Structure 1
Amino acid sequence: MIIVPEKEIAALMTRSAAFEAVEKVFASMASGSAYNFPVIREAIGHADALYGFKSGFDRAALNLGLKSGGYWPGNAAKGITNHQSTIFLFDADTGKCRAIVGGNLLTALRTAAAAAVSVAHLARQDAKVLGIIGAGHQASYQLRAVAEQRGFEKIVAWNRSPEKLDGLRDVAAELGLPFESVTLDELGAQSDVIVTITSSFDPILRAAQVRPGTHIACMGTDTKGKQEVDNALVGAANVFTDERAQSISIGECQHAIADRTIQEADITELGAVINGDHPGRGSDVEITLFDGTGVGLQDLAVASSVVDLAVEKGVALEVEF
């Protein structure tokens, strides 16, 4: 069995490799050659933690396995990241454990890659202003990945605590892009692409704040009850997702489905656009929305790539198991 420790991931997985892996997974899911198993995600009643499993099987790539982990809100005070994950890969032919891979950085990279894939396939080609809502651990990864997809000329951002936006300001400076802390109204009025990456249980962005032609990547809602945008905005948009089943159960669309603002048939899996089976954006004035719920197959894809690279570069640990 191969072990790839968390400390080795940064030197092995690039944003471009994560983008390619996630794009391929979305395409496989839409074609029916890959599928996710039901998600388990629970409050465990200890340390205010959320813990669960995401798993699946990709018949084309023969990626079989699961990601185990969750969110421990007290970890920051202990000097470690709140999000803790480990990915387990199994041999599809025998069921033996093939590899254990550190999943913290990979989760951040694959989540950012999913937003980037949505921007690559759904945002207007002339998009110039990128808006970010949220300033947590994941936000800087989102900014770096999404900024590569269009010729952005400015970054605008909003967070409930504006002083926490300094990290995004630093990333924008690294990218050579002007940065501005703005109100939500200002963000919506300026942005061509908006990424929401929060842990909110109440809508932050509303339909009246978003201008025609905007692409929105909702990346924070992955649990029952969470919500980043109001139902009217979901109803006004052409809606896409990574996986429809998760979108309507734990994703951003769960609320719009519940009050019948939209129907399940109104949601298109992004892989259909990647495969050329759906046209994607219908016009330059259409609002598009990607409900990025985070699927287990994304984790398996990036982890499998990392295992191959770790073996090639001689940094993998091999143990009898």
Structure 2
Amino acid sequence: MGGSIEERSFEELSPVDAGAGISLVSEAVCEQVVGRPEAFTAVESVFAAMASGAAYNFPVVREAIGHADALYGFKSGFDRAGMVLGVKSGGYWPGNVDKNLTNHQSTVILFDPDTGQLRSLVGGNYLTAVRTAAASAVSIAHLARKDARVLGMVGAGHQSTFQLRAALEQRNFEKVVAWNPHPEYLSRLAAVCEELGMPFAAVEREQLGAEADVIITITSAFEPLLMKQWIKPGTHIACMGTDTKGKQEVDPELLASASVFTDEVAQSISIGEAQHAVASGLLNEADITPIGEVINGTHPGRRDDLEITLFDGTGVGLQDLAVASAAVELAQAKGLAGQVSL
């Protein structure tokens, strides 16, 4: 096979035998081998490992690069239970939408925990979307009322359809209500609902709060979009858009009145949705529970049908590493991974 690695796409590289060389798994292959069930299992398992102390995230590096208005950074960690070590490298390029590219761009790099040798390079764009949706789905599975019937969606960007599809699999929903600051984008969610035969309605935020049993917020907002007084008792809310200092999607008073769960407490209080409630003294760090404790059975989770539960999904590196590791294993098993030796 002629040409350098740079001259060939991932798809053109020869299939890899499991354990041989460095595995290369492209975006296209990730989409082929990692579906919602695989992502759900990977994310649920790593949340459990984090709560038990078997997995931990390293400090996040995230910087504005001073070019193209881009944010760039690294998320990394080690999962001793799953024997996964690596780093996700990437960021946010807001101008990509005009180039017909996804604004979020990333690659996951996995290493052998026993030797430190490079093991795999994995496309991270699709996996970021599917692992974020899996996180909210895990929260719904473990915290939402069993009789939840109306799903509310706040936000209709690229990530929203991943969130919608994953959420609809967790309960016997009968209707979807949605709001977006730019109503024209709600057609994305409406199309998914039409495909799945699910009734859909575009509503104002107050009505969404009054109707929905489960609400997912997935926006890039810097101000509260949902107020405490709009939310009915027994609602489960998954806040999935706040991952940077200053971002905000819901009223801090709502967090103060809810039972708050998260992927990682340190991120929740610093860059997650809880940052504002903690900073204003409405919520204490000790009031926030890692969702892995619910998964492991060391915390009861929802206590009754009137309790409002809230999941602060900040997005941790171990989620990316977990789904990337699953992608490598599945791609190798199906002969779809590329191979290269350094």
TM-score range, shorter chain: over 0.9
Gaps of 5+ in 1: none
After TM superposition, list the pairs within 5 Å mapping 1:1-321 onto structure 2.
Answer: 1-321=22-342
Aligned residue for 1:21, secondary structure, equals helix
Shift of 1:218: 0.1
What is the deviation of 1:183? 0.1
Superposed CA deviations along residues 106-153 of structure 1, whole A, max 9, x for unmatched, are: 000000000000000000000000000000000000000001000000
Aligned-partner Cα distance in 2 for 1:45–1:236: 40
Q: Distance in 2 between matches of 1:43 and 1:179?
A: 38
Deviation by residue 1:71-115 (Cα, 9 ceiling, x = unmatched): 111101101111101000000001011000000000000000000
CA distance in 1, matches of 2:230, 2:61: 34
Secondary structure at the aligned position of 1:11 is classed as helix
SS class of match (1:256):
helix
Q: CA deviation at 1:41?
A: 1.4
Is 1:90–1:99's contact at 8 Å kept on the other side of the alignment? Answer: yes
- How many residues are paired up? 321
The answer as to whether partners of 1:129 and 1:193 remain within 8 angstroms in 2 is yes
Tell me, in whole angstroms, the C-alpha distance in 1 between the residues paired with 2:61 and 2:224: 24
Deviations 1:250-274 (A, max 9, x none): 1000111111110000000000000
Counterpart Cα distance in 2 of 1:7 and 1:27 = 29
Q: Compute the displacement of 1:175 (Å).
A: 1.6
The answer for unaligned runs of 5 or more in structure 2 is: 1-21
Give the deviation of 1:5 after TM superposition: 1.1
Listed one character per residue, the Cα deviations across residues 211-248 of structure 1 (whole Å, up to 9, x for unaligned) are 10000000000111100001100101000000001101
In the TM superposition, what is the alpha-carbon distance from 1:8 to its structure 2 partner? Answer: 1.3
What is the one-letter code of the residue matched to 2:336? Answer: V
Structure number with greater Rg is 2
Give the drift of 1:302. 0.5
What RMSD, in angstroms, separates the aligned Cα atoms of the two structures? 0.6
Q: Give me the identity figure in percent.
A: 66
